[in-house]
Structure 1
Amino acid sequence: MANVMILGAHGQIATLARHQLLKETDHHLSLFLRNAGRLQDVNPQRETVIDGDVTDTAKLTKALAGIDVVYANLGNKGIEDQAKSVVKAMDAAGVSRLIWISTLGIYDEVPGAFGKWNHQMLDGGYLETYAAAAKVIENSDLKYTIIRPAWLSNKNIISYELTEKGEPFKGTEVSRRSIADFVVKLINDPSKHIGASLGVDQPNTQGDKPSFY
């Protein structure tokens, strides 16, 4: 059994990962989020809810006591500051294993027409901030895995492939359920993919843009 902290626990991928962890493992989950009253289905035997903002480094540091793995499902224009606070708090708490959700395109690794479309959709504050946050994580001394999902769908499918940093991104889309499944696998075997930044897409979805656009 591991003690797992989920940052941004109300997010769609985080919710899927959380429910999968409750179903398939005996891990204890600490759910850290703003406006914690949004969580209506908490299992008091398996879950601890903490209402807080991850940029409150002191509160986050305190909450990390006894945690083995941190899964961060964060994201907004302040994600670079969130990353800095997470790194500082984890260092202070002596917690090293981090799973960090980012996005495709932060290294300009998406080729062809899809890469151009992705820039058109995400440039102007989104890709730039996510790239800056990823750099904070990569420059830390944490045992991190950065996950760069393709465009996300709500399809009820688990099917994904990985690309390493420095390799061209492959497909255009991936299901949230697939990303959640990969997160759960990393939590269950935290020795895998340490120091990696991994693109995640559904096989055979290459094209100029995702199928739902």
Structure 2
Amino acid sequence: MENILVAGANGTTGKQIVKLLKASQYFNPIAMVREREQMEQFSNQKIDVVCADLTEDLTHAIEGVDKVIFAAGSGGKNVVEVDQEGAKRLIAVSKMANVKKFVMLSSMGADNPEAVEDLQDYLEAKQNADKHLKNSGLNYTIVRPGTLNNSEGKGKIELKEKFNKKGEISRADVAQTIVRALHDDAPKNSTFEILEGDTLIGEALSASSAVVS
């Protein structure tokens, strides 16, 4: 089984990602949390957990890790230091550790932050993090969902390199897409947007394998 470090494991989407990894026969999750009091909820479930702060040294967090998921976020409180520079720090140690894949949870609009004025700072931070990952030399997948909601997952999405519309998607289906992107047959070095749709997640990813950014 491959060890998967999940940055942002304590977040709403991060918890769903960890749960899916725990249930998988292929992956062993390592939940990365910022506060020591957040560790117990994962260790009680017999999930490996590491305490690490994206604003500090992350070298210890990457030990023994095969692949990385970045699902962390500052909730708009510190977007440059966490969403942007924190991602860059994790990318840097991932490169040093020769991780096999880095999956980034980004956002629709990250390619054009100026178009969404009330989220411009956040989307600029995501854009800069995405660019850094693309230029890192790591094998990557960048997943850019529409507006997240807490609806029940359908296991189906609509996937395009770039949509010309807005829309929503459940955190559950985003989590499924991110975990599916870890598989070796998933698209390499690709960036795509996802919304709720009617195509099975695995099929949507297979069809997108030609979408290389």
Common topology (TM > 0.5): yes
- Segments of structure 2 that go 5 or more residues without pairing to the other structure are 199-213
Residue 91 of structure 2 is matched in structure 1 by 87
The structural deviation recorded for 1:30 is: 1.3
| Identity of matched residues, % | 26
Q: Identify the structure with bigger relative contact order (alpha carbons < 8 Å, sequence gap 6+).
A: 1
Distance 2:36 2:176 in 1: 24
Q: Secondary structure at the match of 1:42?
A: helix
Residue 190 of structure 2 is matched in structure 1 by 196
Alignment-mate amino acid for residue 99 of structure 1: V
Distance 2:36 2:165 in 1: 37
Q: Secondary structure at the match of 1:25?
A: coil
| Contact 1:80–1:136 (Cα < 8 Å) also in 2 | no
| Match of residue 146, structure 1, among 138, 142, 145 | 142
Q: What count of residue pairs does the alignment treat as equivalent?
A: 191
Q: Secondary structure at the match of 1:50?
A: strand
The structural deviation recorded for 1:38 is: 2.3
| Contact 1:27–1:46 (Cα < 8 Å) also in 2 | no
**What is the aligned-residue RMSD (CA, Å)?**
2.3
| Contact 1:17–1:184 (Cα < 8 Å) also in 2 | yes
Residue 134 and residue 169 in structure 1: after superposition, are their counterparts in 2 closer, same or farther (change >3 A)? farther
Deviates more, 1:194-203 or 1:146-155: 194-203
Tell me the TM-score normalised to structure 2 length. 0.80
Distance 2:159 2:88 in 1: 26
Distance 1:195 1:8 in 2: 22
Deviations 1:48-75 (A, max 9, x none): 2111112323xx2232122111011122
The structural deviation recorded for 1:88 is: 1.2
| Match of residue 179, structure 1, among 174, 195, 211 | 174
Residue 101 of structure 2 is matched in structure 1 by 97
